[in-house]
Amino acid sequence: MRVTVAVREKTSSRLYLAVEFAAVFFGLVVVYAVFFRGTSPIPVLIVLGGAAVVYLVRSPSFDRRSLWRAEALPGQVRSMLVLWLVTAAGCVVAVAVATPDLLLVLPREQPGLWALIMIGYPLVSVYPQELLFRAFLFHRYRPVFGEGAGMVAASATAFGFVHIAFGNWIAVVLSAAGGVLFANRYRRSRSLLSASVEHALYGLLMFTVGLGQYFYHGAVQP
């Protein structure tokens, strides 16, 4: 009898978490996209990232070292850079062929803004996103998605979907693909620093190569 009750409670808890996941990472995103599109998401990211930290450090089962774990980064750098270099070359070719006027447009025409993004983007955007879509999501919704491919898929899907706020499908597709990389990086390393470094590399690539117009709150509709 006790076993049956325990199973029911576990099932009920998983159902609740699944509904919560859908509401938080899809429902609230739709609300934001409809009512607050065109506003900067940075303040929201910082507040939610702070809330995620509070939740995680107060959770007895969460390993706080995962919020940084710098010692894991050196072992990740080689595989990270190899894939990034291939992606960077592909992006340069794609932009040069499809929209040559946009190639390196930001560093060429607005070097001051480009430099500001290079410095500020990893701090005020990347790390808060990784707190939410990797550390918090992996920990909070592990009973629903497990720790393997299911969790990676859930993280990447949520990460791609949140970019509907930018109003174009390119941001959604590229972010979902990036989400697979960042989720796998965090899953293997349990280092939010490693996932954040990889995330920053790809984000800064987009802003540098000429695709940044799809990844800010004033993004155009392609």
For 96-147, what is each residue's pLDDT tens digit? 999 999 999 999 999 999 999 999 999 999 999 999 999 999 999 999 999 9
Q: Return d(Cα 32, Cα 129) in angstroms, integer.
A: 16
3 state DSSP class of 62: coil
Look at residue 4 in the predicted model and tell me its pLDDT: 61
166-195: average pLDDT: 97
pLDDT digits over 157-170, tens only? 999 999 999 999 99
Residue 5 has pLDDT above 90, yes or no: no
130 domain-assigned: yes
pLDDT of residue 220: 40
Res. 7: pLDDT tops 80: no
The pTM score is 0.93
Q: What is the mean pLDDT of the chain?
A: 93
Instruction: Give pLDDT, residue 219.
Output: 40
CA distances to 54, 118, 124, 148, 193 from 153, rounded to whole Å, are 25, 29, 25, 9, 21
200 within 8 A of 122, measured Cβ to Cβ:
yes
- Residue 106, judged by CB atoms within 10 A of its CB (0-12, 13-18, 19+), counts as buried
Residue with the larger pLDDT of the pair 191 and 217: 191
**Position 221 in a domain:** no
Give domain status of residue 94, yes or no: yes
pLDDT of residue 38: 83
Q: Helices 192-209 and 169-189 meet at what angle, rounded to 10? A: 150
- Please report whether residue 43 resides in a domain: yes
Tokens of 98: 């499809």
Range of the domain at 134: 2-214
Question: Distance between CA atoms of 190 and 188, rounded to whole angstroms?
Answer: 6
**150 part of a folded domain:** yes
Report helix, strand or coil for 40: coil
pLDDT of residue 24: 97
Share above pLDDT 90 across residues of the chain, in percent, rounded to a whole number: 88
- Does some domain include residue 220? no
* pLDDT on residue 6: 52
The tally of domains found in the chain comes to: 1
